[in-house]
């Protein structure tokens, strides 16, 4: 068997330098070597990128991490000699292997394994078998029934039963129906949809085609974020390949079923993740949500019956058809079946994509898989669900991951962003961060969202600036609850969640900002005081040189001082001092 | 018809795109994206030309173009810095990177340096959260930034530009 | 054919399937507020005011777009729906940059619509101007002569150069119409059969009587003096307000059916109990007719008078003897009236004793300057310490010399005696014009701590059933005439509601206000104020004829045309402000950044005021869906979204058909059709 050298070229890998590694390997690899160099997508262990998987002649995997171009000759020689001892310095460590071994991969099962640009590799790994099975042996009703058995729910955020949407769209009158894939993954901190498209585009195509068959759609559209150029490139290639091989287009696999898929690139608007706003955008308009009802299943794209699911939802479909809905339903909890992909980021030791069965606890994921908090700091909160979600404190870390349990905390499952924060993150600041985001991304149509989020942001801003007033927290709560009730679409209805959850779990931090004018996390610049400890200061003047406003003065070799009236609290002195002499309070 | 406030652009460059999408309903955003690819931004004259060909009113086209953050109405610098302020980047100190970049270049968000070399655009999330904080310059992603590292990257690019 | 039935606010309503909840509610007379909905265009759902609660639904429903279903149970005024609506209005108002009313109207204690009547004067339409002013003020000619015009102090034209001469304009237009044969006459509501007795024929009593009569009530106005007019007749000298002007306006009020009885004093000629028994309601408007005593030794000497007592004696053609040298104590308008009257009576040395300086004087500057021109000598920073008698009469005033100390509660620097420093001024008489007191003798109503009649501030009720009180006689005591008029006109509505069975307290309307600085108005063309020339002091000081003739028609029009028209043209029809007033809202809780307030006239015949735009999108949708033009678009996203027309200037007239449909659809004053 020919050895294989596979370079992880997802966006993260490329950002970490995978392209240079690939070039170096190509250069180092002799033309006559019995080894094949190829790429794969993202295996999800982003913190180890660039990753190079070396399969020896026996098919045994030797995974190399943090690979630099300089390591190329060593890899090539290991492949040539069969002696992998020379790669010990870049070999994956056992605890890092756990990051992957503790996961259960369905939606991500091909990611980081096959070459996303090769339909043959997909076919070799059971690709398009589910489609063939559906077209040749199942009626649309049977497909929907299988999805119903699986318990699959929308992975984009709301968790609505997938079969129900399909069935509603199927039941709607008319022959012109559309299938839409929401790949406008806008939640900052979530990137599993990008990973699926970049790493396993055919799986998405296959899932969409099965849905299109079940519903009766002749045309399908993937709405991809403009910020995902690589995903667009790979999906375009995959669509072309699928069309050439007869998996897409007229009379697919010789059946009566015809369907084609096209890509529409978004243009930068978070609100287009909301399904009716997405439809408006697809139609070439401003992405402003429509009133519901009518729901898209009755009147969606061009006012025809339309079904919208997100990438991860479709990515589960082929597995369910191949293995049966029951196998999927066997995983998870009473109300949430199957697996869910999370993008674990923030202050964890091992960040990346994690696919786990529903029912694991947050602690399992954050500490068991992601390795807990890095830099020896203390866990403070985990943010789930992005701008629509909430912050969960340490006391709730044993919460089980399923739709209902997470909702009970005030957060939501969301699309799977899991941003972990340590004690250096200010929870009022994080609420403000999200409100700044939603204010910027509000489409501006409805009053509650347009002005409500703006005012929430302003109140939070004054609190972090030390100008909060007694009663501000109550005012925030009142406004939050009304915005939730009165906003037109999901963006506005969920925008207050980060504020409400931080108030619920971290009220003391709000009070400290408002009453004591202190930021317990020492993160809000306006509330900090910088001073120099005369006992520790060596009088080196490094801080004074760094200070952008000349607030620091003194004589060399004597303790320096900071003029608090001039200081702009940028922290440059604190970061510069090698003696720990700059105090922050 | 020429507008007096804007430098005139060669509208013939648009013709292929307009022909490609002629009669394809719902393609306004795609046309605008192509327009921006051609000119580097969406010139106001192009808006009127698109209006003439598609029948959409200029008010609608501008309404669409200004809704989406991708579209720009002024030429950008040689290097477009997209600085990520997603959650993971925020938690990992994106504010400090933004301060450093702003300070290094003397420009704020959505501004271009006087020499036309750099434009800065703060974006929501680039999806490279594990490498936070990150920025993307002309398609290349730079991860695990520190203020000093960000400054160095910009200095290298400036040197590169001045060298050519 | 109706085929569905639903319950709205407990009422069973029938409707057709396909109708929205809003449609059916409206057909059944249930009003659900909305700002962005209009039957000519598709549903939009932006404003969020039309939300209602539906039994069994955890979510609020937008009634403008939610289809009614058989058996629905809807509550349009549930707590959650009202809260969402209220906060939507508070948020909208927190971002609203516009003036419902001009600052002049807001400053007027009677809320007269200055901007509107000034505009009619500018157009040469004094009849309409008088109709407008009489909505709030039945004595515009009298008040036009005497009012200290707080409106002018707040006039925004003052930020450009000088405020509009609103009082002189009012005087002009009212005088122009005073005897005009075809002058405007008010319409009366049908007779109610209810009777009201109004006690006091001054500005407050006359006003209450006038509006109550217009409401259809049988009103009797009772006054202790020989003629109606109160202080206008007996407190204001003839040279400021000719008595025939008062006569004419009193006659106008009598024409509305008000019965007038003079020389009837409560407690002397009829007991208050007997008076009350005659009427379904009584309004006390007796004013403040006693002078505040000086409280210094010698104040009881003959030759020491109260200011208003002196002025009244002159009005009654029986002036109190003042001699050749008179000292008037006080710095208010009554002091100015007294000193200038003394000059006109032939006094040779007229002094004004005032314990602070000219800067602190409460009198109008015009009055002070005119008095100076007429030879009045001001003794600033002095205070009477003692009236020294000789031969049993006042002969001199011993003055304590004062200096200014720290500012007091009113913000003015308070006078402090300079120890041991005195002056003596030889005089024949002393007139104390330092204030007025209420004399409530004969009225057994509850008084406040200061001995003034206590009346509720929103209902004007006293402690006696059916007895109301307004003006100088109540609460804070003496003020200016227009304030008494303001209270009286509000009280007339309250009394009317009382007589009709359910008292409705006065509630000041919620209004939007714009903050404007001189810088905002820097581009306005400077147009100097039109000044009138007073007769020379040497001439006028010898008679009681008016100091000036007021504006000519030409001058009035020119002056009126300087108005910046700050108040919103749409105030009367603005849906936003109507809804805002339906709920108790406090937008100041959400005070924050406002969108910009650009004005532009790109739409040929329409001026667009972005500050008043609520982004309901109606203009955009109407231009697109109804007019078929699509000239307006929403530009930008989120909070910063603005509505903008987009066509090249050269296309302007050709492209915009000037159909005005956008402005007609606008629920606020953001779009104004230019005349």
Contact of B3 with chain C, judged by CB distance below 8 Å, is answered with: yes
Residue B4's pLDDT is 41
Q: What total number of domains does chain B contain?
A: 2
Least confident span in A153-162, A378-387, C445-454:
A153-162
Residue C518 located in a structural domain: no
Question: What is the rounded distance in angstroms from the CA atom of residue A482 to the CA atom of residue C589?
Answer: 14
Chain B nearest CA to A133, separation (Å)? 35
Closest CA to A217 of A150, A297, A326, A323: A297
Residue A110 located in a structural domain: no
Among A281, A386, A440, select the one facing B87 at the smallest CB separation. Answer: A386
Chain C nearest CA to A494, separation (Å)? 13
Closest CA to C164 of C570, C482, C567, C565: C565
User: Does A468 have pLDDT greater than 90?
Assistant: yes
Residue C176's pLDDT is 97
CA distances from C259 to C209, C251, C284, C343, C673 (A): 9, 11, 16, 38, 46
Among A227, A386, A571, select the one facing B127 at the smallest CB separation. Answer: A227
Q: Show the DSSP H helices in A250-384 as ranges.
A: 275-282, 311-323, 325-329, 362-363
Which tens digits make up the pLDDT trace of A443-455? 999 999 999 999 9
- Helix orientation angle between A129-137 and A201-215, rounded to the nearest 10 degrees: 10
Residue A332 contacts residue A359 (beta carbons within 8 Å): yes
Residue in chain C closest to B60 (alpha carbons) equals C633
Residues A148 and A279 in one domain: yes
Closest CA to A38 of A49, A46, A26: A26
Among C60, C91, C634, select the one facing A455 at the smallest CB separation. Answer: C91
Residues A210 and A287 in one domain: yes
**Best C45, C47, C50, C587 residue to mutate vs chain A (most A CBs within 10 Å):** C45
Residue B74 located in a structural domain: no
β-bridge mates for residue A582, sequence order: A532
Selected residues 135-164 of chain B with any CB under 8 Å from a CB in chain A:
139, 141-143
Count CA atoms closer than 13 A to C362's CA, side-chain side: 16
Token pair 């309903």 is found at B25
Name the residue range of residue A573's domain: 528-584
Structure tokens at C289: 């007719």
Residues of C in contact with A455 (CB under 8 A): 91, 94, 590, 592
Domain termination residue (choose one: A422, A450, A473) = A422
Contact of C629 with chain B, judged by CB distance below 8 Å, is answered with: yes
Residue A174 located in a structural domain: yes
Among B67, B70, B91, select the one facing A421 at the smallest CB separation. Answer: B91
Contacts 24+ apart (CB under 8 A), A139-148: A140/A170, A140/A213, A140/A214, A140/A215, A140/A216, A143/A210, A143/A213, A143/A214, A143/A321, A144/A170, A144/A214, A145/A325, A146/A320, A146/A321, A146/A324, A146/A325, A147/A214, A147/A317, A147/A320, A147/A325, A148/A325
Beta-sheet pairing, A379-384 with A390-393: antiparallel
Chain A nearest CA to B164, separation (Å)? 22
User: What would the mean pLDDT of B93-111 be, rounded to a whole number?
Assistant: 90
User: Does B164 have pLDDT greater than 70?
Assistant: no
Contact between A286 and C634 using a beta-carbon 8 Å cutoff: yes
Q: Residue C410 — pLDDT band, cuts 50, 70, 90? A: confident
Q: Residue C655 — pLDDT band, cuts 50, 70, 90? A: confident
Contact between B63 and C629 using a beta-carbon 8 Å cutoff: no
Contact between C633 and B63 using a beta-carbon 8 Å cutoff: yes
- Helix orientation angle between A311-323 and A192-199, rounded to the nearest 10 degrees: 60
Residue C601's pLDDT is 67
Residues of C in contact with A443 (CB under 8 A): 637-638
Residue C524 contacts residue C564 (beta carbons within 8 Å): yes
Q: What total number of domains does chain A contain?
A: 5
ipTM of the complex: 0.91
CATH of the domain at C602: 3.30.70.20
Residues of B in contact with A302 (CB under 8 A): 25-26
Residue B1's pLDDT is 37
Question: What is the rounded distance in angstroms from the CA atom of residue A438 to the CA atom of residue A440?
Answer: 5
Contact of B58 with chain A, judged by CB distance below 8 Å, is answered with: no
Residue C652's pLDDT is 62
Q: Residue B123 — pLDDT band, cuts 50, 70, 90? A: confident
> Could you tell me where the beta strands, DSSP code E, fall in C44-96?
51-54, 61-62, 73-75
Residues B49 and B94 in one domain: no
Token pair 């909702």 is found at A407
Q: What is the DSSP letter of B12?
A: G
Residue in chain A closest to B142 (alpha carbons) equals A15
Residues B148 and B83 in one domain: yes
Structure tokens at A43: 């295996």
Domain termination residue (choose one: C40, C74, C94) = C94
Cβ neighbors of B47 (< 8 A, separation 6 or more) are B58, B61, B62, B65
Residue A344 contacts residue A351 (beta carbons within 8 Å): yes
Residues B57 and B86 in one domain: no
Name the residue range of residue C63's domain: 4-94
User: Does A159 have pLDDT greater than 90?
Assistant: no
CATH of the domain at A286: 3.40.50.11540
Residue A107 located in a structural domain: no
CATH of the domain at C31: 3.10.20.740
Residue A392 located in a structural domain: yes
- Helix orientation angle between C114-122 and C166-178, rounded to the nearest 10 degrees: 60
Structure tokens at C524: 């306005």
User: What would the mean pLDDT of A48-72 be, rounded to a whole number?
Assistant: 94
Residues A491 and A572 in one domain: no
Contact between C646 and B67 using a beta-carbon 8 Å cutoff: no
Residue C406's pLDDT is 87
**Mean pLDDT of all residues belonging to chain C:** 94
Residue A108 located in a structural domain: no
Closest CA to A44 of A11, A82, A86: A11
Residues A74 and A130 in one domain: no
Residue C654's pLDDT is 67
- Coil, helix or strand for C511? coil
Among A440, A478, A485, select the one facing C60 at the smallest CB separation. Answer: A485
User: Does C368 have pLDDT greater than 60?
Assistant: yes
**Mean pLDDT of all residues belonging to chain A:** 94
User: What would the mean pLDDT of C381-390 be, rounded to a whole number?
Assistant: 95
Domain termination residue (choose one: A329, A348, A368) = A329
Residue B9's pLDDT is 86
Residue B132's pLDDT is 86
User: What would the mean pLDDT of C280-295 be, rounded to a whole number?
Assistant: 95
Residues B110 and B157 in one domain: yes
Contact between C84 and A293 using a beta-carbon 8 Å cutoff: no
User: Does B6 have pLDDT greater than 80?
Assistant: no
CATH of the domain at A31: 3.40.30.10
Using alpha carbons only, give the angle C572, C575, C581 rounded to the nearest 5 degrees: 85
Q: Hey, which chains touch C, using 3+ CB pairs under 8 Å?
A: A, B
Question: What is the rounded distance in angstroms from the CA atom of residue C73 to the CA atom of residue A553?
Answer: 73
Residue C403 C-alpha from the chain's centroid: 37
User: What would the mean pLDDT of A499-506 be, rounded to a whole number?
Assistant: 97
Residue C498 located in a structural domain: no
Counting residues of chain C whose pLDDT is more than 70, the rounded percentage is 98
CATH of the domain at A456: 1.20.1440.230
Contact between A285 and B64 using a beta-carbon 8 Å cutoff: yes
Counting residues of chain A whose pLDDT is more than 90, the rounded percentage is 85
Among C44, C617, C638, select the one facing A439 at the smallest CB separation. Answer: C638
Q: What is the DSSP letter of C190?
A: P
Residue A17 located in a structural domain: yes
Residue B2's pLDDT is 38
User: What would the mean pLDDT of C115-123 be, rounded to a whole number?
Assistant: 97
Among B27, B67, B132, select the one facing A345 at the smallest CB separation. Answer: B132
Least confident span in A486-490, B138-142, C193-197, C631-635:
B138-142
- Coil, helix or strand for C441? coil
Residue C345 located in a structural domain: yes
Residues A510 and A464 in one domain: yes
Count CA atoms closer than 13 A to C547's CA, side-chain side: 22
Residue A109 located in a structural domain: no
Contact between B125 and A421 using a beta-carbon 8 Å cutoff: no
Residue C570's pLDDT is 94
Residue B7's pLDDT is 58
Domain termination residue (choose one: C50, C77, C94) = C94
Contacts 24+ apart (CB under 8 A), C581-584: C581/C509, C581/C510, C582/C33, C583/C82, C583/C85, C583/C86, C583/C89, C584/C86
Which tens digits make up the pLDDT trace of A410-441? 999 988 999 999 999 999 999 999 999 999 99
Domain termination residue (choose one: C59, C94, C129) = C94
Residue C609 located in a structural domain: yes
Domain termination residue (choose one: B37, B67, B97) = B67
- Coil, helix or strand for A582? strand
Which tens digits make up the pLDDT trace of C121-160? 999 999 999 999 999 999 999 999 999 999 999 999 999 9
Selected residues 54-93 of chain A with any CB under 8 Å from a CB in chain B:
none
Residues A174 and A292 in one domain: yes
Domain termination residue (choose one: B19, B45, B67) = B67
Residue A12's pLDDT is 85
Hey, which of C212-216, C473-477, C652-656 has the most confident mean pLDDT?
C212-216
Contact of B28 with chain C, judged by CB distance below 8 Å, is answered with: no
Residues B107 and B45 in one domain: no
User: What would the mean pLDDT of C368-391 be, rounded to a whole number?
Assistant: 96
Residue B132 located in a structural domain: yes
Residues B103 and B149 in one domain: yes
Residue A345 contacts residue B129 (beta carbons within 8 Å): yes
User: Does C507 have pLDDT greater than 80?
Assistant: yes
**Best B57, B62, B71, B73 residue to mutate vs chain C (most C CBs within 10 Å):** B57
Residue in chain B closest to A270 (alpha carbons) equals B124
Residues A142 and A291 in one domain: yes
Name the residue range of residue B46's domain: 11-67
Closest CA to C70 of C54, C59, C92, C85: C54
- Helix orientation angle between A140-150 and A201-215, rounded to the nearest 10 degrees: 120
Q: What total number of domains does chain C contain?
A: 3
Residues of C in contact with B57 (CB under 8 A): 624, 629-631, 633, 646
Contact between B3 and C648 using a beta-carbon 8 Å cutoff: yes
């Amino acid at each position: 068997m020919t050895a294989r050298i596979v370079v992880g070229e997802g966006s993260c890998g490329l950002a970490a330098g995978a392209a240079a590694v690939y070039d170096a390997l190509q250069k180092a690899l002799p033309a006559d070597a019995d080894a094949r160099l190829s790429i794969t997508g993202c295996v999800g262990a982003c913190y180890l990128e660039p990753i190079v998987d070396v399969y020896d002649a026996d098919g045994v995997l030797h995974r190399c991490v943090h690979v630099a171009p300089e390591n190329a000759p060593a890899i090539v020689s290991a492949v040539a000699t069969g002696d992998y001892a020379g790669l010990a310095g870049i070999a994956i460590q056992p605890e890092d292997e756990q990051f992957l071994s503790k996961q259960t991969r369905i939606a991500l099962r091909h990611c980081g394994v096959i070459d996303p640009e090769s339909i043959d590799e997909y076919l070799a790994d059971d690709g398009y078998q589910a489609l063939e099975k559906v077209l040749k042996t199942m009626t649309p009703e049977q497909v929907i029934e299988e999805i119903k058995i699986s318990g699959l729910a929308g992975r984009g955020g709301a968790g609505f039963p997938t079969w129900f949407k399909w069935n509603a769209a199927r039941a709607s009158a008319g022959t012109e129906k559309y299938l839409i894939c929401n790949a406008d993954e806008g939640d900052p901190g979530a990137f599993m949809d990008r990973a699926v498209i970049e790493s396993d585009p055919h799986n998405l195509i296959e899932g969409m085609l099965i849905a299109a068959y079940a519903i009766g759609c002749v045309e399908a559209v993937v709405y991809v974020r403009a910020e995902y150029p690589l995903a667009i490139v790979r999906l375009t290639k995959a669509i072309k390949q699928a069309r050439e091989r007869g998996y897409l287009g007229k009379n697919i696999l010789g059946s009566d079923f015809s369907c084609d898929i096209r890509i529409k690139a978004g243009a930068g608007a978070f609100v287009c993740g909301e399904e009716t706003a997405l439809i408006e955008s697809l139609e070439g308009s401003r992405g402003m949500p429509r009133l519901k009802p009518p729901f898209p299943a009755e009147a969606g794209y061009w006012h025809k019956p339309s079904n919208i699911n997100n990438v991860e939802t479709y990515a589960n479909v082929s597995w369910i058809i191949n293995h049966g809905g029951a196998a999927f339903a066997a995983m998870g909890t009473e109300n949430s079946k199957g697996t869910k992909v999370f993008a674990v980021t923030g202050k964890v030791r091992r960040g990346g994509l994690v696919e786990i069965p529903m029912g694991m606890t947050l602690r399992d994921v954050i500490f068991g898989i992601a390795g807990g908090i890095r830099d020896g700091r203390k866990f403070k909160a985990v943010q789930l669900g992005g701008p629509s979600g909430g912050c969960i404190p340490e006391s709730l870390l044993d919460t089980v991951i399923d739709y209902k349990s997470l909702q009970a905390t005030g957060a939501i499952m969301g699309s799977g962003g899991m941003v972990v924060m340590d004690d250096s993150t200010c929870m009022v600041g994080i609420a403000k961060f999200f409100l700044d985001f939603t204010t910027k991304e509000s489409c501006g149509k409805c009053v509650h969202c347009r002005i409500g989020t703006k005012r929430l942001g302003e109140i939070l801003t004054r609190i972090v600036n030390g100008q909060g007033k007694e009663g501000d927290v109550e005012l925030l709560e009142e406004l939050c609850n009304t915005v939730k009730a009165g906003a037109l679409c999901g963006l506005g209805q969920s925008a207050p969640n980060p504020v409400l959850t931080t108030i619920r779990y971290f009220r003391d931090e709000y009070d400290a900002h408002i009453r004591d004018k202190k930021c317990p996390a020492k993160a809000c610049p306006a509330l900090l005081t910088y001073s120099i400890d005369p006992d520790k200061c060596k009088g080196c003047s490094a801080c004074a040189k760094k200070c952008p406003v000349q607030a620091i003065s003194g004589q060399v070799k004597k303790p320096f001082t900071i003029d608090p009236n001039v200081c702009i609290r940028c922290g440059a002195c604190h970061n510069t001092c090698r003696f720990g002499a700059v105090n922050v309070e | 018809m020429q507008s007096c406030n804007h430098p005139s652009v060669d509208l013939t460059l648009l013709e292929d795109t307009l022909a490609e999408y002629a009669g394809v309903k719902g393609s306004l955003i795609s046309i605008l994206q192509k327009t921006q690819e051609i000119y580097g931004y969406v010139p106001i004259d192009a808006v009127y030309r698109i209006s003439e060909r598609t029948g959409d009113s200029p008010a609608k086209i501008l309404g669409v173009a200004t809704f989406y953050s991708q579209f720009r109405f002024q030429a950008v610098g040689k290097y477009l810095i997209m600085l990520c302020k997603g959650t993971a980047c925020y938690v990992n100190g994106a504010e400090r990177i933004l301060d450093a970049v702003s300070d290094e270049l003397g420009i704020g968000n959505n501004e271009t340096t006087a020499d036309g070399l750099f434009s800065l655009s703060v974006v929501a999330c680039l999806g490279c959260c594990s490498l936070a904080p990150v920025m993307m310059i002309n398609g290349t992603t730079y991860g695990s930034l520190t203020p000093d590292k960000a400054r160095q990257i910009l200095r290298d690019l400036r040197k590169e530009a001045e060298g050519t | 054919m109706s085929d569905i039935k639903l319950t709205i606010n407990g009422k069973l309503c029938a409707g057709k399937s396909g109708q929205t909840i809003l449609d059916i509610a409206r057909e059944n007379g249930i009003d659900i507020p909305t700002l962005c909905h209009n039957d000519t265009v598709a549903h939009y759902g932006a404003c969020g005011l039309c939300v209602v609660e539906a039994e069994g639904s955890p979510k609020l429903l937008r009634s403008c777009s939610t289809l009614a279903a058989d058996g629905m149970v809807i509550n349009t005024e549930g707590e959650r729906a009202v809260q969402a609506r209220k906060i939507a209005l508070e948020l909208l108002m927190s971002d609203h940059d516009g003036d419902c009313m001009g600052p002049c109207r807001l400053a007027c204690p009677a809320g007269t619509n200055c901007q509107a009547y000034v505009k009619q004067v500018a157009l040469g339409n004094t009849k309409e101007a008088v109709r407008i002013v009489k909505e709030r003020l039945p004595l515009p000619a009298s008040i036009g002569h005497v009012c200290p015009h707080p409106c002018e102090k707040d006039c925004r034209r003052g930020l450009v150069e000088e405020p509009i001469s609103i009082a002189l304009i009012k005087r002009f237009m009212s005088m122009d119409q005073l005897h005009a044969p075809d002058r405007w006459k008010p319409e009366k509501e049908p007779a109610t059969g209810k009777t009201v007795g109004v006690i006091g024929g001054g500005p407050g009593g006359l006003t209450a009587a006038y509006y109550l009569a217009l409401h259809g009530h049988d009103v009797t106005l009772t006054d202790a003096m020989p003629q109606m007019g109160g202080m206008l007749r007996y407190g204001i000298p003839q040279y400021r307000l000719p008595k025939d002007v008062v006569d004419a306006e009193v006659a106008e009020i009598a024409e509305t059916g008000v019965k007038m009885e003079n020389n009837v004093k409560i407690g002397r000629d009829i007991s208050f109990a007997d008076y009350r028994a005659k009427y379904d309601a009584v309004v006390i408007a007796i004013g403040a007719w006693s002078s505040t005593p000086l409280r210094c030794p010698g104040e009881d000497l003959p030759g020491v008078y109260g200011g208003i007592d002196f002025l009244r004696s002159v009005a009654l053609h029986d002036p109190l003897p003042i001699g050749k040298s008179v000292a008037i104590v006080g710095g208010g308008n009554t002091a100015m009236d007294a000193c200038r009257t003394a000059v006109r009576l032939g006094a040779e040395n007229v002094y004004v004793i005032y314990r602070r300086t000219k800067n602190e004087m409460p009198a109008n500057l015009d009055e002070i300057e005119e008095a100076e021109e007429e030879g009045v000598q001001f003794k600033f920073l002095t205070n009477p310490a003692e009236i020294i008698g000789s031969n049993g009469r006042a002969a001199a005033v011993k003055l304590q010399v004062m200096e200014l100390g720290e500012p007091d509660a009113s913000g003015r620097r308070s006078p402090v005696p300079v120890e041991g420093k005195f002056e003596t001024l030889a005089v024949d008489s002393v007139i104390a014009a330092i204030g007025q007191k209420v004399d409530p003798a004969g009225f057994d109503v509850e008084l406040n701590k200061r001995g003034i009649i206590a009346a509720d501030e929103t209902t004007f009720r006293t402690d006696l059933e059916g007895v109301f009180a307004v003006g100088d006689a109540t609460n804070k005591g003496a003020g200016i005439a227009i304030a008494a008029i303001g209270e009286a006109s509000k009280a007339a509505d309250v009394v009317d509601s009382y007589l009709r069975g359910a008292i409705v307290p006065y509630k000041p309307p919620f209004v939007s206000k714009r903050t404007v600085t001189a810088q905002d108005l820097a581009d306005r063309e400077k147009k100097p104020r039109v000044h009138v020339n007073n007769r020379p002091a040497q001439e006028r000081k010898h008679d009681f004829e008016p100091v000036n003739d007021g504006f000519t028609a030409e001058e009035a029009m020119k002056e009126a045309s300087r108005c910046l028209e700050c108040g919103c043209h749409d105030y009367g029809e603005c849906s936003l402000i109507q809804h805002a007033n339906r709920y108790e809202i406090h937008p100041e809780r959400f005070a924050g950044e406002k969108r910009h307030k650009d004005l532009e006239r790109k739409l040929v015949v329409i001026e667009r005021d972005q500050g008043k735009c609520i982004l309901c999108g109606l203009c955009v949708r109407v231009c697109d869906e109804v007019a078929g033009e699509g000239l307006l678009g929403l530009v930008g996203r989120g909070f910063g979204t603005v509505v903008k027309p987009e066509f090249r200037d050269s296309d302007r007239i050709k492209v915009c058909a000037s159909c005005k449909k956008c402005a007609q659809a606008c629920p606020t004053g953001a779009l104004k059709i230019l005349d």
